[in-house]
C-alpha cells in the first residue's frame, strides 16, 4: 500500500493490498477499495463506495457524492458499487443512489473518459466505453459493450442496448436498441457492423440481427406487429434479445430510424 502523506484516509476505510493513493485525495470512512487499484491526486471518495480490484481512478474524480435530486434526503443510506478492472479518467463523477438502500452500479472492464458523469442509480454493464464529457441522467442503463461518443447526453431512465454505438454530440430521451448506430436526436441509422464483428458474433447472428432490424424498421409493420411476427421466427439469442429490448421499451420508447435501408447493412 502506497499512500501519499498529503492524502486524507479515514481510519475506517478498507484499503486492499498494493493500492496507491495520490496527493490530496480524500477517502471516507465507508470506502472499500480493492487490491491493486490506483487512486490519483485530488480524488474524493465519500459515502458508502465499494470499488473492486485493479481499478484506476484519475485526478480529480469524485465518487459517492450525494445525487443531484432536489428531493434527496441526506440521511438516505445508498451507495456506489464498482467492479474490477475499470478505468475512470480525470474528473469523472459518480453519484450514489437517491433512494434507501439503492446503488449506482458500474460493472467490470469499463473505460470512462475525462469528465464522464454517471448520475444516481445508473447501471453500467461490462466492457463499455464512455467517451469524454458524456452525461448520464439518473437511472440510465448502459448494457455490455456499448460505446458512447463524446459529449452525448442521456435523459433519465434511458437505456442503451448491448454493442450499440452513439455518435458524439448526440442526445437521447428514448432507448437505443442493441447493436444499433445512433446519432442526432433519438435516431438510429443502421447496424453497428464493426462492433458486431469485433465482439465475434457469428455470421448467423449477424444475419439474424439484420433481419430483425429490417422487420422492425423497414417492413412497414408497426411495432406490435413486428414483435408478433418476430415471435414466430427462428431467431437465435442475439436477435431475440433485440426484440426483448424493444418490447420492454415502454417508459421512454425507442429511437426511430432515419436513412437508406441498404446503408450500414453489409455484415
**Tens of pLDDT, residues 174-198:** 999 999 999 999 999 999 999 999 9
Q: What is the pTM of this model?
A: 0.94
CB 4 within 8 A of CB 23: yes
Q: Identify the pLDDT of residue 250.
A: 73
What integer pLDDT is reported at residue 161 of this predicted model?
Answer: 98
pLDDT value at 267 more than 50: no
- Quick check: 265 pLDDT over 80? no
Rounded CA-CA distance 226/20 in Å is 53
Q: What is the mean pLDDT of residues 99-116?
A: 98
- Does the pLDDT value for residue 261 go beyond 80? no
| Mean pLDDT, residues 225-241 taken together | 96
Residue 65 sits at φ, ψ, to 5 deg, of -65, 160
Task: Reply yes or no on whether the pLDDT at 263 is more than 60.
Answer: no
Residue 202 has pLDDT above 80, yes or no: yes
Q: Which of 22-26, 66-70, 142-146, 261-265 has the lowest mean pLDDT?
A: 261-265
Phi, psi of 22 (to 5 degrees): -85, 180
Per the listing, cell 458524439 goes with: 168
Could you report the per-residue pLDDT of 143-166, keeping only the tens digit for each? 999 999 999 999 999 999 999 999
Average pLDDT value for residue range 252-263: 76
| Mean pLDDT to the nearest integer, 93-114 | 98
Q: Which residues of 104-126 are buried (b: 16+ CB within 10 A; e: fewer)?
A: bbbbbbbbbbbbbbbbbbbbbbb
DSSP 22-36: -TT-EE-TT-EE-TT
Q: How confident is the model at residue 266 (pLDDT cuts 50, 70, 90)?
A: very low
Length of the chain: 267
Top pLDDT among 222 and 1 is at 222
146 φ/ψ sector (left φ>0, alpha ψ -120 to 50, else beta): beta
pLDDT of the residue at 260: 56
For the cut 90, the answer to whether the pLDDT of residue 264 exceeds it is: no
The reported pLDDT for the residue numbered 259 is 73
Q: What is the pLDDT of residue 237?
A: 96
Element (H, E) at 214: helix 203-217
What is the pLDDT, as a whole number, of residue 200? Answer: 96
Amino acid at each position: 500500500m502506497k499512500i501519499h502523506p498529503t492524502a486524507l484516509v479515514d481510519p475506517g476505510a478498507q484499503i486492499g493490498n498494493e493500492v496507491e493513493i495520490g496527493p490530496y485525495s480524500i477517502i471516507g470512512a465507508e470506502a472499500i477499495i480493492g487490491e491493486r487499484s490506483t487512486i490519483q491526486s485530488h480524488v474524493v471518495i465519500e459515502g458508502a463506495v465499494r470499488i473492486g480490484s485493479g481499478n484506476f481512478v484519475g485526478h480529480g474524480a469524485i465518487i459517492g457524492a450525494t445525487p443531484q435530486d432536489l428531493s434527496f434526503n441526506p440521511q438516505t443510506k445508498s451507495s456506489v458499487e464498482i467492479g474490477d478492472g475499470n478505468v475512470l479518467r480525470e474528473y469523472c463523477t459518480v453519484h450514489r443512489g437517491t433512494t434507501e438502500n439503492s446503488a449506482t452500479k458500474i460493472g467490470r472492464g469499463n473505460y470512462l473518459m475525462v469528465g464522464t458523469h454517471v448520475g444516481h442509480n445508473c447501471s453500467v454493464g461490462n466492457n463499455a466505453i464512455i467517451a469524454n464529457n458524456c452525461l448520464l441522467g439518473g437511472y440510465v442503463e448502459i448494457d455490455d459493450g456499448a460505446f458512447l461518443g463524446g459529449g452525448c447526453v442521456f435523459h433519465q431512465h434511458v437505456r442503451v442496448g448491448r454493442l450499440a454505438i452513439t455518435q458524439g454530440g448526440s442526445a437521447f430521451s428514448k432507448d437505443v436498441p442493441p447493436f444499433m448506430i445512433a446519432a442526432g436526436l433519438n435516431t438510429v441509422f443502421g447496424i453497428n457492423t464493426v462492433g458486431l464483428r469485433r465482439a465475434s458474433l457469428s455470421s448467423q447472428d449477424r444475419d439474424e440481427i439484420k433481419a430483425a432490424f429490417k422487420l422492425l424498421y423497414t417492413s412497414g409493420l408497426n411495432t406490435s406487429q413486428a414483435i408478433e411476427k418476430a415471435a414466430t421466427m427462428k431467431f437465435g439469442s442475439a436477435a431475440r434479445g433485440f426484440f426483448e429490448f424493444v418490447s420492454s421499451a415502454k417508459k421512454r420508447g425507442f429511437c426511430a430510424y432515419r436513412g437508406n435501408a441498404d446503408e450500414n447493412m453489409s455484415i
